[in-house]
Amino acid sequence: MDLTGKIVILTGVSKGIGHATAAALLAKGAIVAGWGRTAPDGLAHERFQFIECDVRSEVSVQEAYENTRREVGQEVHVLINNAGEGIMGPVDGFGADDWRTMFDTNVHGPFYCCRAVLPQMKRQQLGHIINVASLAGTVGNENMAGYCATKFAVRGFSESLFKEVRADGIKVTCVNPGSVETYFNGATPGAAPNPRKLQPEEVAATILHVLESPPGVLISEVDVRPLQPGK
């Protein structure tokens, strides 16, 4: 897809992968509606529109979609479900509220967003949905049961959805990053990039590579790993 002039909805735009992806999309000429709870810094651009949204709320997602159509345009060419929450801990010491927060953000949020945009994408017979999951959705890890469970769910949702909508000309891709230097789990990125982790810009570049694939090509899933991870 040539991204010039295309309308992209991007959740979790405030920082990390979302912020980097918004910047990369703008550099390619896209029109970006960035959804998030907090407005991002450093994305002032005539083709960027911040839309307040909490993807955990079905009502908030629907309002954000209506606001996007009013402020940006009726068509939706790309949806990137990037907003995510990671909370770690052993199962027997895990709070039920934290468990629900992760599922509301990581699983229910993409469902609400996909359901909002799919009618328009089907009318267009054109669209691309990217769900950002994780390599944690491919293998279970201790003290990550909740997070892994949500990302396994995103992968299953993505695989089912691509089979459901491919006949409508809609692509669905699940992107599974490995360890990324972001604010994940409350961490703060260091002043200097950690060469043992993926950088948000590298994941953004992968997302753009997928979006720019030829019209007849469906890349259904991509694993993204640091080349030389820490031991």
Domain boundaries, the chain: 7-224
CATH code, 7-224 = 3.40.50.720
Is it the case that residue 187 has pLDDT exceeding 90? no
**Which residues are part of the catalytic machinery?**
147
Q: What is the pLDDT of residue 230?
A: 67
Helix (H) and strand (E) counts in the chain: 6, 7
Residue 190 clears pLDDT 90, i.e. is over it: no
Q: Rounded to the nearest 5°, which phi and psi values hold at 121?
A: -60, -40
For residue 189, the model assigns a pLDDT of 46
Q: Are 50 and 34 in contact (CB under 8 A)?
A: yes
Question: Residues 6 or more apart from 157 whose CB is under 8 A from it?
Answer: 107, 110, 111, 131
CA atoms within 13 A on the CB side of 208: 22
In this prediction, residue 185 carries a pLDDT of 47
pLDDT digits (tens, 9 = 90+) for 22-56: 999 999 999 999 999 999 999 999 999 999 999 99
Counting beta carbons within 10 angstroms of the beta carbon of residue 179, is it exposed (0 to 12), middle (13 to 18) or buried (19 or more)?
middle
